[in-house]
Chains A and B, each alone.
Chain A
Amino acid sequence: SQELEQSPQSLIVQEGKNLTINCTSSKTLYGLYWYKQKYGEGLIFLMMLQKGGEEKSHEKITAKLDEKKQQSSLHITASQPSHAGIYLCGADEGGSQGNLIFGKGTKLSVKP
């Protein structure tokens, strides 16, 4: 079955710094989702990528999917304390039901 590896597992950055989180799949991705989660809370949808080479941005967050559709990166520019949380990548396995599998998450802390 498909597996998603996220790196790093945790990250501490100074406010204002840029950072990148990676998500690598063992198989071709049909759809790649990025979510943000505060501890003990639900998932906040950030972005969804489908096409190889696709790049999407929302405010200071940019997500990219490589041409082979096996790796995605999430880049945050000029990080702020509000960016702190757990970032999860999820992938559509391409099955008929449409469930997602998830990476283990990256815990981001932003020091003011």
Chain B
Amino acid sequence: GAVVSQHPSRVICKSGTSVKIECRSLDFQATTMFWYRQFPKKSLMLMATSNEGSKATYEQGVEKDKFLINHASLTLSTLTVTSAHPEDSSFYICSARDWGFRDTYEQYFGPGTRLTVT
């Protein structure tokens, strides 16, 4: 199946700094990528939908100025957590849909990034 990678897998940063997380589709082109956040004992929550070449669509309650998303190419989307605070500590997962196989509705997930803000 298709592969999605994320980098870094783990990151620790100080409060007030910014962190960039990369999401890459390795063997297919993804015009749309999704960013999810997982809270302890809760489900994955969609943060935003990233479209190549256009502005991301953010879910209600997600601060677009804090979570900057850039989808510069068909294989790369980045999530930048700006001015990070301890409450931003979480597990962030990206996913990409391979539109080449639209009928199968398959969506591929990255391995996730564990962000810890101290």
Q: Which residues of A contact B (CB under 8 A)?
A: 4, 30-31, 33, 35, 40-43, 45, 48, 50, 88, 90, 92, 97-105
| Distance A40 CA – B38 CA, assembled complex (angstroms) | 9
Q: Which residues of B contact A (CB under 8 A)?
A: 1, 6, 32, 34, 36, 41-46, 49, 57, 91, 93, 95, 97, 104-112, 114
Which residue of chain A has the shortest Cβ distance to B93 in the bound complex? A42
Partner of B43, one of A41, A45, A98, A105: A105
Q: Are A40 and B91 in contact (CB under 8 A)?
A: yes
Q: Which residues of B contact A41 (CB under 8 A)?
A: 111-112
Q: Are B105 and A30 in contact (CB under 8 A)?
A: yes
Q: Are B112 and A42 in contact (CB under 8 A)?
A: yes
Q: Are A99 and B1 in contact (CB under 8 A)?
A: no
| Known interface pairs A48-B104, A50-B105; A97-B57 also in contact (CB < 8 Å) | yes
Q: Which residues of A contact B57 (CB under 8 A)?
A: 97
| Distance A35 CA – B44 CA, assembled complex (angstroms) | 12
Q: Which residues of B contact A45 (CB under 8 A)?
A: 1, 106, 108-109
